[in-house]
Homo-oligomer: A and B are copies of this chain.
């Protein structure tokens, strides 16, 4: 029962008044309980059901060159997720927008990764009834991050397809953006084991689903296709549909099996964390000639151009 290393036998440990945290956190600003705080203070109780039951929804929007990108779409999805989970917070759409903007402004970041979160919260009695919990809103802005680093953006990512099955819609509605990622984490370790840099996991029929934080598109003969079922309806995925409309490129949502994906001319992944990112190797096979393709480049260029378009972006007031 006792452990010599952990505690001297002669002295029973006492309770400290305050937690001493020596961890370092990325620079940024969070909003919680009406306060703006450094990231080192942005903490939730281990008793919050958002942690203990992953009973939470969230959304992530990015800021580029001082402007939110497609903020409205992220806010709409966040509100839809809360409604589906029967969660309520005391902030309007406009108030959340103001809070997010203030987090970014106070952080000083011109490019940022901005997350809004609603957790089930908790109750003083630790009741297991979710109807008795006080839901909780948290937001934060940290430096912009990307799934792919600079080198990977230039040469393309190496992706491995894992046999892990994405949590199906019959279990968790993918319309609720959620933190249930153990399937994606498993896929990621499978990918690392095979020497790849990131992963795609499959749907219940064995078709390609999505990866850790991103959707995927296949290009074949000037036509684009992205998985339709059981995947998150990503905002960047939607942006690709919108950009293809402008560019006159055909794009559909439908089943893609492993061999179809590997036989594509081009492949790219999409995420708020990085935008449109090329994939040039899948498992042991090069995609096309193994270099970043022309359609991927055209869409990527237009995607970044839209970041200064007032129809697609909103300026931050840095005071």
- Footprint of B on A, CB under 8 Å? 1-3, 5-7, 12-26, 29-30, 32-33, 35-47, 50-55, 85-86, 91-92, 94-95, 97-99, 101-102, 105-106, 117, 120, 122, 124-126, 128, 130-131, 134, 138, 140, 142-143, 145, 147, 164-168, 170-173, 176, 178-186, 188-189, 192, 204, 212-213, 273, 314, 317, 319
A1: chain B residues within 8 A (beta carbon): 94, 97-98, 101, 314, 317
A130: chain B residues within 8 A (beta carbon): 185, 188-189
Q: How far is it, in angstroms, between the C-alpha of A97 and the C-alpha of B21 when the chains are bound?
A: 23
CB distance from A45 to the nearest CB of B (A): 5
Contact A124 B25 (CB under 8 A): yes
Residue of B with least CB distance to A315? B1
Contact A44 B43 (CB under 8 A): yes
Q: How far is it, in angstroms, between the C-alpha of A134 and the C-alpha of B140 when the chains are bound?
A: 21
Q: How far is it, in angstroms, between the C-alpha of A7 and the C-alpha of B38 when the chains are bound?
A: 19
Q: Specify which of B35, B54, B101, B140 is in contact with A180 (CB 8 Å cutoff).
A: B54
Q: Specify which of B21, B46, B92, B140 is in contact with A30 (CB 8 Å cutoff).
A: B46
Which 10 residue pairs are nearest across A and B when measured between Cβ atoms?
A: A53-B181, A43-B43, A54-B54, A24-B124, A165-B170, A3-B98, A3-B95, A171-B183, A19-B41, A26-B126
26 contacts between A and B (CB under 8 A): A1-B97, A2-B98, A2-B317, A3-B97, A6-B95, A13-B36, A13-B106, A15-B36, A15-B37, A16-B37, A19-B33, A19-B35, A20-B35, A21-B33, A24-B124, A25-B45, A39-B45, A43-B43, A51-B51, A52-B179, A53-B184, A54-B180, A86-B189, A128-B145, A130-B185, A131-B192
